[in-house]
């Protein structure tokens, strides 16, 4: 799903832009810090994104993909317990 060159489309490009929401800036910042600390490198994050189910990949927003990948990788590395983030959401 991530390899968009093999998914040809005629869809026009939506040129509207939005200012990043606070949670999006937060996600970007957290991913940067995880990288600085050696907990998740950029290749791992991309791999995490690519491992999403195809429908989820297409529906998720850009930073949502970053967030889901960070969760995947952090659980894989034992920084987060499986389901720990879900239980924090209540």
Residues that bind another protein (CB under 8 A): 2-18, 20-30, 32-34, 37, 39, 41, 43-44, 46-47, 49-50, 58, 60-64, 67, 70-71, 77, 79-80, 84-85, 88-90
H-only helix segments in 13-90: 22-36, 42-50, 54-59, 62-76, 84-89
To the nearest whole angstrom, how small is the minimum distance from the Cβ of residue 83 to another protein? 12
22 versus 55: smaller Cβ distance to another protein: 22
Q: Which two tokens stand for residue 3?
A: 């390899």
**Nearest-angstrom CA–CA distance, 26 and 18:** 16
């Amino acid at each position: 799903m991530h390899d968009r060159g093999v998914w040809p489309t005629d869809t026009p490009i939506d040129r509207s832009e939005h200012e990043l929401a606070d949670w999006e800036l937060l996600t970007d910042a957290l991913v940067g810090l995880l990288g600085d600390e050696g907990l998740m490198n950029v290749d791992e994050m991309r791999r995490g994104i690519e491992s999403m189910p195809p429908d989820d990949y297409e529906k998720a927003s850009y930073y949502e993909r970053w967030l889901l990948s960070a969760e995947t990788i952090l659980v894989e590395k034992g920084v987060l317990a499986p389901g720990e983030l879900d239980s924090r959401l209540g």
